[in-house]
Amino acid sequence: MSKSFGFDLDNTLIDYSGAVKEFCRMSYLPPCNNIGMLKVMLRKFSNSDYDWQLAQSWLYTSGLEFAQLGVGSIDLISYLSKEGYQLYIVSHKTSHTPKFCGQIPLHDLAINWIRKSGLSDYFQDQQRIYFEPTRESKIRIIRNLSLDYFVDDLEEVFEEPNFPSHTKKFLIYKSESQNPTLKCVMDFNSIREILANGF
């Protein structure tokens, strides 16, 4: 029986660090290396999420021009494909940016980026790509697909009470976690090594 592997999209397969640096440059902000740093900084400036939502909307639209694939992602996906894995993308992504950010369609932009990125060779069937409006519905899809493995950059996703216990969990871009069920990895090459040696 073939195994299945699921990927989060934003900040996992898509590395926004280049887009974050460009946003800081054009907004005359202190430089940040990643979305997490930018989010923390903007929330220090304001108690509301307004500035952060503006920034996030730019990153997920115009900022895609400056985004890159996560290091080692294509090598891992190629390896999984050759090994016969069924591959899926399951992303928590609303359909549009907020009204005050122009209500720009996010799903279409993400699909176009995937097509141009090299991922399209492995995700030509859009039925293998899921955009879910809430974290809860994202977890439901992961359960329904009965994925053997899933990789995400947010530990909170794996801590959701309905996250399937049989799905092996990779927390990417993190060096440690208090959760013993998570495998912390700094890039996709590390995931390939772990799978090759038996998770």
The tens digit of pLDDT for each residue in 163-193 reads 999 999 999 999 999 999 999 999 999 999 9
Counting residues of the chain whose pLDDT is more than 70, the rounded percentage is: 100
Per-residue pLDDT at 126 exceeds 90: no
**What are phi and psi for residue 129, nearest 5 degrees?**
-120, 125
What does the pLDDT read at residue 45?
Answer: 85
Domain spans, the chain: 4-15+68-196, 17-66
**Residue 181: helix, strand or coil by DSSP?**
coil
Average pLDDT, integer, range 120-144: 93
Please, which pLDDT band fits residue 1 given cuts at 50, 70 and 90?
A: confident
Residues 104/109/110/114 CA torsion (nearest 10 deg): 180
Q: What is the predicted pLDDT for the residue at 125?
A: 78
Residues 131, 62, 171, 135: what is their CA dihedral angle, to the nearest 10 degrees? -30
pLDDT at position 37: 94
What average pLDDT does range 105-120 have in this prediction?
Answer: 94
Burial of residue 98 (number of CB atoms within 10 Å: 0-12, 13-18, 19+): middle
Per-residue model confidence (pLDDT) at position 2: 83
In this structure, CATH architecture of domain 4-15+68-196? 3-Layer(aba) Sandwich (3.40)
Burial of 25 (0-12, 13-18, 19+ CB in 10 A): exposed
Banded pLDDT at 197 (limits 50, 70, 90): confident
pLDDT, residue 198, reads 80
Note the pLDDT tens digit of each residue in 42-100: 998 887 889 999 999 999 999 999 999 999 999 999 999 999 999 999 999 999 999 99
Residue 164: predicted pLDDT? 97
Q: By the 8 A CB rule, do 59 and 20 touch?
A: yes
Instruction: Give the DSSP per-residue string, 7-51.
Output: E-TBTTTEE-HHHHHHHHHHTT----SSHHHHHHHHHHH-SSSHH
Read off the amino acid at residue 97: T
Mean confidence (pLDDT) of the chain: 95
Mean pLDDT of 109-127: 91
| In the predicted structure, residue 196 carries a pLDDT above the cut 90 | no
